[in-house]
Structure 1
Amino acid sequence: PWSAEHRLGTDQIGRDVLTRLIYGARNTIGIAFVTTALAFAIGVSLGLIAAINRAWLDQVISRGVDVLMAIPSLIFALMLLSIFGSSALSLILIIAVLDSTRVFRLTRSVAVGVVVMDYVEAAQLRGEGLGWIMRREILPNILPPLVAEFGLRFCFVFLTIAALSFLGVGIQPPTADWGTMVRETANLIQFARFDLKAGLTPLMPAAAIALLTVAVNFVVDWFLHKTSGLRDEH
């Protein structure tokens, strides 16, 4: 039960729910952030290369991305995690590669319109390298949509990790994780008619997942509004 010692009660084996929520936030959010950053490093790099080199390399990368995107991400992740194991490293690498396909699509679509600009052609005529052009000429001009996509992609990665943990192939016990906490305490809902607080125990990590997702979306909407050049009319 809830008490002064256990503010949100304990789970089915007596572990403090509030403490596990706090540690679960560190694990779930930390792994989701690292995974999203890696997905962007892969997707943005390949997207810029494909946008600059509109020849056979663009076709090879684009067709490979099409193949990966044709397979449902959650099912593909479940299959790969069953093969390679449910370690944190496998979780990060597999989800990062799968989500980098979406980042690649966005990066390539916005970079194609920048590559044809005069200042990019001037840099190419000066003999600047591919990395310099990507870093100094193209990336700064496509940064706002990429930053907004980073927030949205973080939400999707976060929800994917929580879903995989709920299914038992994500972050493994005894490591605290919000998705795992929902799965482990789901049976307590049936005791809600006897003790309402006990029935609310599995809803705490579920509410934390929902609140974080909504909060990140609000931040992304605010950033898009600020970078779009629009002003509120009063």
Structure 2
Amino acid sequence: MSVSLSSTRPARRWRIGYRISPVGAICFVVILAWALVAIFAPLIAPHPVGEIVDFDFFQSVSAQYPMGTDYLGRDVLSRILFGARYTVGISLAAVTIACVSGVTLGMTAAVIGGVFDSALSRFLDALTSIPSKILALVLVAAVGSSISVLTLTLAVIYIPGSYRFARALAVNVNAMDYVTVARVRGERLGHIIRAEILPGIVGPVLADLGLRFVFIVLLLSSLSFLGLGVQPPNADWGALVKENIGGLSLAAPAVIFPLIAIASLTISVNLLIDNLPQKIRDRSEDA
């Protein structure tokens, strides 16, 4: 009796997976760590945010104060941990508002077109023509620097860019045959945007969200450095640099460590975007 060769040959199948680079994994861990710090800062900070722990200001790194003390003798480590709540929290809220608003308006303008598209685009173009730092300074100086004002100001500044990006993507998707079929079927505007346009642009939009998060972190830090950000005794990382800049000549860690915190977060987000998990198809063998 003969045995078929095909029966003894191992079966092959395709398996779909994701390839994550080591750099992307490390950056994700750093971002996750800062997110957890922002959430649990009151539980892990060794001292309250405004407590003066030593009357000897600008102390160097020691076992008692791992990041030294600031210009008033407050623990720098505790202030950086609490500062993460404002830097990460405000930036995340602002980028969420900006991207959700901008993407929604961009998809709507691409689908409706006509006068609505032209009028909205010209208005947001006019808003884009104003330098972001100048617009932020004017709005915050006029209205105040509360958390809600900072968040809305940062969101308004980055809505036009998010709108432009989403609209450019949505215009291309709107020309696809399946969108035309959905329109002929009589689907409503909301269904076309939600079920036909959005799935085709969600990948680039998420990458754009990450980049705008970095821009907002840097702009918030700039505002705080100018004294228009989070107000004392609370502080974000930019405010920590500003209030301790006088100790830079003393090589004070109070200036260096907040800068490292800003750099670690922004660089990690940028590198994570560049190393996003890529879908791959692996051929595997089953005995």
> TM-score of the superposition, structure 2-length normalised?
0.75
Matches within 5 A, 1:183-222: 183-192=242-251, 199-222=252-275
Structure 1 counterpart of 2:155, from 96, 105, 114: 96
Partner amino acid, structure 1, of 2:272: V
Q: How many residues align?
A: 223
Structure 2 residue 285 is the aligned partner of structure 1 residue 226: no
Match of 1:22 in 2: 81
Separation in 2, partners of 1:201, 1:68? 37
Structure 1 alignment gaps of length 5 or more: 193-198, 230-234
Q: CA deviation at 1:211?
A: 1.3
Match of 1:9, SS state, is coil
Match of 2:278, SS state, is helix
Cα deviations by residue, 1:189-209 (Å, 9 ceiling, x for unpaired)? 1223xxxxxx23201101111
Asked whether the 8 Å contact 2:137–2:223 carries over to 1, the reply is yes
Match of 1:4, SS state, is coil
Cα deviations by residue, 1:45-74 (Å, 9 ceiling, x for unpaired)? 110011001100000110001100111011
Match of 1:69 in 2: 128
Matches within 5 A, 1:1-234: 1=59, 2-192=61-251, 199-223=252-276, 226=278
Match of 2:37 in 1: none
Asked whether the 8 Å contact 1:42–1:97 carries over to 2, the reply is no
Partner amino acid, structure 2, of 1:5: Q
Q: CA deviation at 1:13?
A: 0.8
Separation in 2, partners of 1:22, 1:74? 26
Q: Which structure has the higher relative contact order (CA within 8 Å, separation 6+)?
A: 2
Asked whether the 8 Å contact 1:168–1:180 carries over to 2, the reply is yes
Q: Alignment RMSD, CA only? A: 1.6
Partner amino acid, structure 2, of 1:226: Q
Separation in 1, partners of 2:183, 2:233? 54
Asked whether the 8 Å contact 2:240–2:254 carries over to 1, the reply is no
Q: CA deviation at 1:108?
A: 0.5
Match of 1:201, SS state, is helix
Partner amino acid, structure 2, of 1:204: F
| Greater strand proportion | 2
Separation in 2, partners of 1:74, 1:168? 13
Match of 2:152, SS state, is helix
| Greater helix proportion | 1
Identity of paired residues, percent? Answer: 44
Separation in 1, partners of 2:67, 2:179? 57
Separation in 1, partners of 2:194, 2:168? 17
Match of 2:33 in 1: none
Match of 1:232 in 2: none
Separation in 1, partners of 2:79, 2:179? 51
Asked whether the 8 Å contact 2:111–2:174 carries over to 1, the reply is yes
Name segments (4+ residues, structure 1) moved above 4 Å: none
Cα deviations by residue, 1:159-203 (Å, 9 ceiling, x for unpaired)? 1111101111111111131000000110001223xxxxxx23201
Match of 2:223, SS state, is helix
